[in-house]
């Protein structure tokens, strides 16, 4: 490549670089500087050689739904696509068998292959709400990982030391707490690292929790005499509680396929100090509009409640359209601002037999209707006083209910209990 870069190419490199690096987050300034410099080099080579960069995002289909936290990196992949680069959506149907130990303080349960395959289809369809399906290369890492022999795995493992893995916070903290760390968990970084080799990736996208795995990929690429991929890392979006990372397992998520009223109500429940982060990473609003909202919030010109209304409208409008967003806002205003009960709500059927009132398993009902992803979350909601039947707070796992009673979970989930 010539040392003399045409001015128009140099300008385009700077434009793309600024768009790509906006909103990124790295663990330390040294890593940022290295990735910043390497990205400029790759963009320059791409434009001079008229060769699009190969950019990939890996997602493990461990649950059937994507939430707006997943969309932080999906939006970056869509940006690369819009800039003319080759976007690759990698479905981790093989890495998902192990489960990513990043940011986990305990063993992650292994997933069954049939569940992963079923979830993979929903992931692809949901991702295409942001990505152009015609321009997206969809791959599964079982294509290469599933073909490796045990000897191949041993050879792959010889590129790393045990100390490199045990130095990771996610493992170190568990070892210090005398909790078990299983050998198969070490395999995850190796497998994801080899994905970069198989795809001959120029860039890998991921949250800040993926730094170690992406660096494994750089190491393996160098061993295979490939140019090491550039890591473009984005922050982890907090959940609706404003504290823990967004996750379906903790119930603090906003799913992109959830109904408009559910999305709107969840957005209205976030704490005030998380509003700007949700605008920045959870919506498709332009950067200058988000900056203006932040300025108005800081100055007091925009009140937090109105900001959350705008946030909720933006989220619902992106996934369901403007009319659905307006209808969801009208419903929320009617129910919560006026303390009313919604005219329509989902029904949950239970067996009353010949009785008008029975002792019903409330904790099971909460899970059945999807208001809690697990028994532990359902139990916590009850303990927190977040569950009501006909406006009476329920404190036990069972409660006496009448036909057509109204079950309320939190401030936004309503269900009518009807006879089966």
CATH code, 31: 3.40.50.620
Cα–Cα distance measured from residue 230 to residue 227, given in angstroms and rounded to the nearest whole number: 9
Is the residue at 98 inside a domain? yes
The distance between the two most distant Cα atoms of the chain, rounded to a whole number of Å, is 87
pLDDT of res. 188:
84
Which is nearest to 246 in space by CA: 103, 405, 56, 367?
103
The residue among 167, 200, 234 that closes a domain is 234
pLDDT of res. 375:
84
pLDDT of res. 112:
62
Is the residue at 2 inside a domain? no
Q: Which residues are paired to 205 by β-bridges?
A: 57, 232
The reply to whether 360 and 319 lie within a common domain is: no
What is the span of the domain harbouring residue 395? 347-419
pLDDT of res. 98:
72
| Local mean pLDDT, 10-residue blocks, the chain (420 residues) | 79 96 90 96 96 94 83 95 96 77 48 70 87 94 93 91 81 80 83 95 93 92 96 92 82 90 90 92 91 93 92 96 94 72 80 84 86 86 86 84 86 84
Is the residue at 20 inside a domain? yes
Cα–Cα distance measured from residue 67 to residue 79, given in angstroms and rounded to the nearest whole number: 19
pLDDT of res. 177:
80
The size of the chain, in residues, is 420
pLDDT of res. 81:
97
The reply to whether 39 and 171 lie within a common domain is: yes
Structure tokens at 385: 């006083």
Is the residue at 250 inside a domain? no
The reply to whether 215 and 165 lie within a common domain is: yes
The SS3 of residue 187 is helix
Instruction: Count how many domains the chain has.
Output: 3
Cα–Cα distance measured from residue 386 to residue 264, given in angstroms and rounded to the nearest whole number: 18
Is the residue at 245 inside a domain? no
- What pairing do the DSSP bridges indicate for beta strands 136-140 and 86-91? parallel
The reply to whether 103 and 223 lie within a common domain is: yes
The reply to whether 104 and 166 lie within a common domain is: yes
Is the residue at 248 inside a domain? no
pTM: 0.75
Is the residue at 254 inside a domain? no
Query: Are the CB atoms for 365 and 405 separated by under 8 Å?
Result: no
Is the residue at 251 inside a domain? no
Count of CB atoms within 10 A of residue 117's CB? 15
The reply to whether 139 and 38 lie within a common domain is: yes
The reply to whether 376 and 286 lie within a common domain is: no
Contacts of residue 314, defined as CB under 8 A and 6 or more positions apart, other chains included, come to 279, 283, 284, 285, 325
The residue among 337, 368, 401 that closes a domain is 337
Query: Are the CB atoms for 219 and 56 separated by under 8 Å?
Result: no
The reply to whether 207 and 87 lie within a common domain is: yes
The reply to whether 273 and 388 lie within a common domain is: no
């Amino acid at each position: 490549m010539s040392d003399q870069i045409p001015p128009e190419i140099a300008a385009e490199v700077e434009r793309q670089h600024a768009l790509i690096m906006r909103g990124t987050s790295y663990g330390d300034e040294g890593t940022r500087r290295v990735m910043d410099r390497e990205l400029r080099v790759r963009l320059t080579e791409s434009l001079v050689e008229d060769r699009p960069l190969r950019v990939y995002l890996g997602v493990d289909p461990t649950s059937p739904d994507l939430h707006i936290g997943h969309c932080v990196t999906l939006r970056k992949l869509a940006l690369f696509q819009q800039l003319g680069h080759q976007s690759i959506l990698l479905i981790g149907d093989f890495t998902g068998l192990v489960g990513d130990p990043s940011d986990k303080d305990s063993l992650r349960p292994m997933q069954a292959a049939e569940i992963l395959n079923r979830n993979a289809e929903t992931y692809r369809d949901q991702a295409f709400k942001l990505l152009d399906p015609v321009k997206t290369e969809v791959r599964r890492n079982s294509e290469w990982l599933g073909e490796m022999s045990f000897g191949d795995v041993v050879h792959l493992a010889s590129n790393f030391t045990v100390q490199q893995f045990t130095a990771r916070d996610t493992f170190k903290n568990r070892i210090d707490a005398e909790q078990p760390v299983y050998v198969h968990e070490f395999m995850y970084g190796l497998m994801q690292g080899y994905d970069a080799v198989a795809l001959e990736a120029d860039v890998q996208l991921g949250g800040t929790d993926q730094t170690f795995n992406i660096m494994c990929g750089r190491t393996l690429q160098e061993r295979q005499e490939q140019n090491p991929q550039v890591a473009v890392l984005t922050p982890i979006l907090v959940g609706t509680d404003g504290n823990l990372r967004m996750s379906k397992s903790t119930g603090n998520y906003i799913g992109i396929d959830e109904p408009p009223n559910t999305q709107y109500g969840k957005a209205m429940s976030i704490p005030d100090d998380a509003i700007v982060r949700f605008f920045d990473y959870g919506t498709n609003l332009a950067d200058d509009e988000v900056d203006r909202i932040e300025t108005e919030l800081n100055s007091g010109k925009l009140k937090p409640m109105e900001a959350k209304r705008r946030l909720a409208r933006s989220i619902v409008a992106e996934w369901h359209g403007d009319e659905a967003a307006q209808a969801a806002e009208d419903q929320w205003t009617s129910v919560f601002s006026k303390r009313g009960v919604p005219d329509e709500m989902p029904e949950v059927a239970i067996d009353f037999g010949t009785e008008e009132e029975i002792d019903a398993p409330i904790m099971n009902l909460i899970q059945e209707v999807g208001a809690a992803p697990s028994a532990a979350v359902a139990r916590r909601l009850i303990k927190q006083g977040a569950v009501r039947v006909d406006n009476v707070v329920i404190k036990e796992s069972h409660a006496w209910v009448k036909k057509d009673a109204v079950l309320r979970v939190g401030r936004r989930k309503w269900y009518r209990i009807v006879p089966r």
